[in-house]
Chain A
Amino acid sequence: MIQYTIKRLLLTIPTFFAISLIIFLVLNVAPGKPGAQSSGQGESTTGQEQKESYRIFKEQFNLDRPILLNTRFNLDTAEVREMLAISSNLSGEEGARERIEASDDLDDYGNYLVQHLLVLLDDADPEIRRLAANQLTAASQSRFVNDRRGDAEAAREQNREIGKANDLVKTWGYTADAPDADKLAIHKQWKDWYSKNEETYVYSAGEKLSIFFTDTRFFKYWDNLLHLDFGVSTVDRKPVLDTVLSKLKYSLSLTTTAVILAYIIAVPTGIFSAVKQGKPIDSVITVLLFVMYSLPTFFTGTVLLKLLSEGDPVAWFPTGNFQSMDVGAMTTWQSTKDIVWHLILPIATYTSTALAALSRYARTGVIDVIRADYIRTARAKGLSEPVVILKHAVRNGMIPVLTLLGGLLPTLVAGSVVIEVIFNIPGMGQFLFSSINLRDYNAVMAVLLASSSLALMGILLSDLSYALVDPRISFD
């Protein structure tokens, strides 16, 4: 058993890695980019962020790196030349899409361009020479090191040096109408600079191999993850982990209560209808449950709000929220009461849909067992019907229902988007939904990874619980 558990635990590591890889890929490949303005109805303000600042933004969030594998050291000079030509529309016939792509690529390739741009400084076309020099001012910029972890003082010192180096080369560009002598002087500056820094921009076979795997978004994400750094939100620039943790209490109190409540109601109902199988009362319960199951939560929720909190006919409950706004002036007891009062409707909505499936499982479980030989034996030895059912049948019939709990774990965290939106509960569901809309990669990753690691745990626990509940099952 212990051996099995360890084996399974070890297996979760590659599984988790694979899950993170898939989510990461889907997220990064999906259309749209982070940092874009959200919009109410397609309105836009007339302010435009500067290209330079967007480049810095991309750099900060590693969005300039390739997603999974990096082959940028393999660029050849002709390619770079073409990108320069397209992005500045030298032929005069490039489409907007090609131009945007080319100039985004130039921004993203950064340091990898340096050696090729240096060659292009001697290109036959003066326009290309100018573009190359101007592109160099951006491409030669080194990235600042992260001083949020590790040796902060050393990182600061390093950043001072990097800042100095960056400032030096920042101004070495020129306009088309600059005098030729100036242009040549700048070219010479670049070449002198390059001869001093050449080893930084030319890559050995070993470096190439390392770049291939490590200079990528995915690697950097995992690198941070292993330092327990889930990153910063691209929307509000807060650490994602803090936000997720603050949202957890809302989702957990809603979903755990609802799930427990669903079990408390569903299991007895299921047993009851199993015992009364085929009788009219069983059909009534079945129909009722299916009606509840098929009513979508947004409908149930809105109807409950309309009837019970809007004042037609009654206003017994608040119109949403997790608790009142002025919690500061409440004692612990009052605020607990307040939260319960606010959560009654959302919990009722959540429970009503979860009920049906659970109670069906309970019913089937008991019915399966009721036909078994040992139940007949129990009856034959003269035990009363309640004892037969509760003591012998239910115990075994409930195994599948209990193991379902494992599968429910991730929903406890991810919450329910619809219910959280309708009842305005600021939980994980709401957060996930808005983060997806805003392409907040770090936030989406954090929520999904949290819920998928719980899913893995849940599956493991439910597998193990089989063995615990039913001695006939053994993993050894």
Chain B
Amino acid sequence: MSRSGPNGVVIGALALILVGTLYNAIQINNTEQLGIDNQKKLDEILKNGVRTSGQAGSGGSFSGEMVNNASLMGEGCLTDQAKADQADPTNILSKPSQCRAKGDYVRGGTLRSVLASDPRGLNPYIANGADVTEYGLLMNDYMAERDINNPDNWLPRLATSVTTADDGLTYIIKLQEDVYWHKPAVDWDSGNFDWLKGDGPDGRHEFVADDYVFVWDMLQNNQVAGRTASLRNYFEAMDSIEAVDEHTLKVTYNERLYTNLAMLLELAPVPRWLFMYDQDGREYEQATWGLKLNEHWFNQRGIGVGPYKYAAWESGVKLEFEANEMYWGEPPAFDRILRPIVKDQNAFPRKVKAGEIDITSIQPEQYKTVVLDADGEILDNEHIQTTKFSTLTYFYMGWNMDDPKFSDKRVRQAMTMSFDRQGIIDSVFHGLGTLHTGPYPKQVACYDKSIEPYPYDIDAAKALLEEAGWTDSDGDGIRDKVIDGQKMDFEFTFLMYGSSTEYETLASIWREALLEVGVKMTPSPVEWSTMLKKMDEREFDVYSGAWVPGWDTDLMQLWHSTEADKPQSSNRIGFRNEEADKIAEELRRTFDEDRRTELCHDFHALVHDEQPYTFFYARERPVLYWDHLNEPQFSLNWPYQDKRYWSFQSEPER
């Protein structure tokens, strides 16, 4: 009794506390529920006006407004200012061929599209990566944008008019007025960020010419690293960006180059009032602001003047954008864009099937099991559709031309001919690609479609090697040749990216074919950082690579002989050709489109004949999507999956 006494008291007290806590928890929970319900109602009322009848689905409320875009073709979706500036015949910018979301659509809802990795940041001037560019475009606008249907045309965005009086040495750019920056995503209630408030409506800052002058300041400051550092090379011909007045820019160049205009027009503005200050609102030192910018506290969030604004980024979980209700241009088609982060790409089809995402691109192997091998419906669901889009990326094998074995173009041609490219596209990549023959993406005029790819022809390859002096003199099945007084067997290693099963299969197919020709090839799969090092140090016979070119391809970096002598340059293969140099230099300064096409085609033919690369294929990427989306339209240029052009056909059932 004496022992259980105090025990009883303790247990009783504990029980009491437990009951109390439980009661408390239930109370709090109910209050939370109440709060959430009220917030929902409030959102609906704000969204739909007074006539709401609580029908909103769980996947985000729909305005239910059908938008008919048929009447909005041509210049219909331009702002009044841009329309007026179209009257100026010297304006470089032209009318759009379509509005963003095409055809009829339902405005609202959440678009969910999966993401394979976290971005390196959300400031596209600091963080490198194509994905960052894509998010940058959701949140911000360029001066002008390539037309989705005809990327050679420039559409007015933040610039309504771009003119040049002296043939491209000076540009006068008129900027769109009445544009406001997003309100930065900070904790406004804390009162610590009052210094960030602007003079515009709701404490926003107006977008002005100085936001571009700041970009020029960043480009000039060597301390600013990351993407700005890569961009810097393309702005060497630029002298200055000056603000003539609040909405007019003057841009001057010291040399007229073909790439100047595109690089300029695809600049997005950066707010000086945010990025020149630390978290407490103190301005950075003139001596170190460039360094500070690399680690700026706002680089993890995003800001812009674009159709969607930053909502949330939880590392490894999701990236989320919401519609900018004050967007100055065409209103965005979705309420939210949610990008759940899923690191295991094998899981993508599973997520589509479970209805957790609306659209995703998939891997070739998945395309085979999910789409090609599907008897009947894809993933057993009639609402899941598939489509493909082509990319600018082309794959190739680069030959080390400083190696005496590969300095003869006949040898390189023979290597290409013993590589069954079409067969591999069909069997290994399941038809997701087309043969490629030259240094340009297929979509542009520079690519000469009349050039026939080398055939897969073992006998021709043998003949070419014989011609080049490679014979099997000792009868061991491997060809040999005497080079510099030394007998050399034709053996080489194939440096390739190791984490790709497709490339493993490809290498063994090629290896077999080469053995038949009398050449011994050893695949050497390595991890990317090792591969990069070996390529920089030119320690390879042949490597597998891919280029992701832009719409305009400047040939200097990849093909000019001066680059071949620089270590760590992109001309890793050591391609030196006088005629190629001449064309590359001339193309930089040629502006007549017909002459350009002529020169490009000459270059294409030259490179095809020389085969410094075994040009392989241009990739197509398959996509799975739910049919509550309108059939997605893909851009010819990056970002291919431009979500600003997508919309819902009907409200998704969730």
Contact = CB atoms under 8 A, between A and B. Distances in A.
Contact of B316 (A33, A39, A309, A426): A426
Interface residues of B, number: 91
Contacts of A48: 230, 233, 557, 569-570
B306 to A, nearest CB: 22
Contacts of B449: none
Given A42-B545, A333-B25, A430-B316, A310 B353 contact: yes
A41 B500 contact: yes
Contacts of A247: 315-316
A311 B241 CA distance: 58
Contacts of A243: 315
B29 A97 contact: no
- State which size class the interface on A falls in: 35 or more
Interface string B56-67: 001000000000
B225 interface: yes
Contacts of B567: 96, 99-100, 103
Contact of B318 (A36, A50, A57, A325): A325
Interface string A38-70: 110111111111101110110010000000000
Nearest to A51: B568
Contacts of A246: 314-315
B300 interface: yes
A47 to B, nearest CB: 4
Contact of B286 (A41, A163, A320): A163
Interface in B298-319: 299-300, 314-318
A37 interface: yes
Contacts of A12: none
A392 interface: no
A56 B222 CA distance: 8
B43 to A, nearest CB: 10
B399 to A, nearest CB: 16
B393 interface: yes
Nearest to B292: A147
Nearest to B117: A434
Contacts of B528: 36, 38-39, 42
B295 A232 contact: yes
Contact of A310 (B300, B354, B570): B354
B277 to A, nearest CB: 14
Contact of B287 (A43, A57, A144, A331): A144
Contact of A318 (B300, B356, B497, B558): B356
B225 A57 contact: yes
Contacts of B287: 144, 159-160, 162-164, 166-167
Contacts of A468: none
B547 A44 contact: yes
A431 interface: yes
B370 interface: no
A52 B127 CA distance: 17
A190 to B, nearest CB: 21
Given A44-B547, A46-B570, A37 B225 contact: no
Interface of B: 25, 28-30, 32-33, 36, 39-40, 58, 112, 117-121, 126-130, 222-227, 229-233, 285-288, 291, 294-295, 299-300, 314-318, 338, 340-344, 347, 350-351, 353-354, 356, 380, 393, 496-497, 500, 503, 527-533, 536-539, 544-550, 553-554, 557-558, 565, 567-570
Interface of A: 31-33, 36-39, 41-50, 52-54, 56-57, 60, 89, 95-97, 99-100, 103, 144, 147, 156, 159-160, 162-164, 166-167, 232, 235-238, 243, 246-247, 250, 305, 309-311, 315, 318-322, 325-326, 329-333, 421-422, 424, 426-427, 430-431, 434, 439
5 contacts: A41-B546, A45-B548, A52-B229, A237-B295, A320-B347
